[in-house]
Chains A and B, each alone.
Chain A
């Protein structure tokens, strides 16, 4: 069993969901983020947030995967201040919903004043509703941005145990762990981590508070990054209980602090049966037969 605690499944296909389920992924967390281009209307945010707690959650369930999400205004779009103000008014409507396991992903992109302002406001929101925080650390000037994220979080009085600092690398991991935070690692080709480097990190730092994810989205990325990395860890002789911690248990412990994520959600789920459970037309159009076995070489009636 694996959890992918950071994946933008709205941009993935049903083939991906099938492959993930087969590879042993039982639950995913979809952090609210941007869509590859900036939104211009608050209504686009509203519908996106509704998708995360609505259709996507339902869609995932049809493939035997439990879907959770985090709610937040991402750092890139925080730079459109008038729009960001409106999004902040929207967030209280969503943070209390079922399956919302954190405020996130929030933090810095270019580390502007506007980003700082909305990051702080959302830290306060997280405190108010007692949810964990998922921090997105910047691609550029990463180390400084990561340290600043933690400094500001502490300034607002958040307990590091309630904060997951994501997209770490060899340069950031030590300080993040030393200061008591959960450290997320994104296995994403070219821009973030590769599986081999991840194996080395777990060897060096051990499994405590380390969380592996794919952050798969609409870019060239891999929704199977978590199970693939686990396999590589196995081949590299990392003990099974360590693999379990970094690809399953730590994510559950960290995000489970929301009270919105429980192992029973997938252990006690009804057995996967797309048609019976979900009834006819949904992702299965007009009485289509669900594909439980591998793909066939013709389009089924």
Chain B
């Protein structure tokens, strides 16, 4: 499986403009495979930046679809060439558990920004995934958004493995850092009452400080709608700010809470124009990212 995955990733890098890089990569892979000395691996991992650019991969539709066959939720359309090359190197390191962790721990602990990005985004492709949960949780303590995004966004790992408390901390930090929530995999499925309450507290804190609230956070409260949340949504509707209003209406539409439905009926025109949930939230989220100061 690792070998198939490695050759799949290598194929993604096989463009006419980068034959030199590919040649270098193949040579390094062979060295790493046969020599087993971590120093060669570390050096190649760093020096990959000399051979590969941070340009997004150019994927065909077929290639994109087959990504999901390797790992459910794997989205290489968000990957760049450099991190792909680094992932090939990482997967080429002999996967004998103790030695593998010794090398990877050292790599994680000494990584620069883009190396961290590569490593964390590749968590769902790594072996021994359950043992990597603490590493992923620790990685989220970064204040570098590039690194945070590598774990939190377009990555199936957190939704699959994080205990509820850590999941909630990640989503809250994403809100705090104003990251696009619609890019968090499993966001809807892993909503929970505690997270809804945290999101509400956060909104109130923002309001108290005279600041706007990121509209996407209301998506977290829909399944737990009650009188309290309804008051928040009324306040959100009163902003008359379009993304805010749309977010509130989407939340009311998804919820089965009766007083909420009644409120929804007073906005027939806007409701008629709403997209399907996922699409509408994506629109709200990307619009917010585009326009925020």
Contact = CB atoms under 8 A, between A and B. Distances in A.
A301 interface: yes
B50 interface: yes
B210 A98 contact: no
A301 B209 CA distance: 8
A94 B176 contact: no
Interface residues of B, number: 32
Interface string B147-188: 001000000000000000000000001001111000000000
B45 to A, nearest CB: 8
Contacts of A58: 113, 144, 146
A55 to B, nearest CB: 7
B276 interface: no
A54 B113 contact: yes
Contacts of B176: 280-281, 286
A93 B42 contact: yes
Nearest to B116: A54
B110 A280 contact: no
B47 interface: yes
B109 A275 contact: no
Interface stretch (A23-31, A45-53, A153-161, A211-219): A45-53
Contacts of B173: 281
Interface in A234-272: 259
A50 B144 contact: no
Interface of B is mostly: helix
B77 interface: no
Which of B49, B144, B176, B209 has the most C-beta atoms of chain A within 10 angstroms of its own C-beta? Answer: B144
Given A54-B113, A58-B144, A280 B210 contact: no
Nearest to B107: A93
Interface string A76-88: 0000000000000
A280 B46 contact: no
Interface string A57-71: 110000000000000
Q: Which interface residue of B115, B173, B177 has the most chain A CB atoms within 10 A?
A: B177
Residue among B173, B209, B293 having the largest count of chain A Cβ atoms under 10 Å: B293
Contacts of A97: 46, 49, 112, 115
Contact of A55 (B46, B144, B178, B211): B144
B97 interface: no
Given A280-B176, A282-B144, A49 B110 contact: yes
Contacts of A283: 143
26 contacts: A49-B110, A50-B110, A54-B113, A55-B144, A57-B112, A90-B110, A92-B42, A93-B46, A96-B42, A96-B43, A97-B46, A97-B112, A98-B49, A98-B114, A275-B293, A276-B292, A279-B177, A280-B176, A280-B179, A281-B178, A282-B144, A282-B145, A282-B177, A283-B143, A301-B209, A301-B210
Interface of A: 46, 49-50, 53-55, 57-58, 90, 92-94, 96-99, 259, 275-276, 278-283, 286-287, 289, 301
Interface of B: 39, 42-43, 46-47, 49-50, 106, 109-116, 143-146, 149, 173, 176-179, 206, 209-211, 292-293
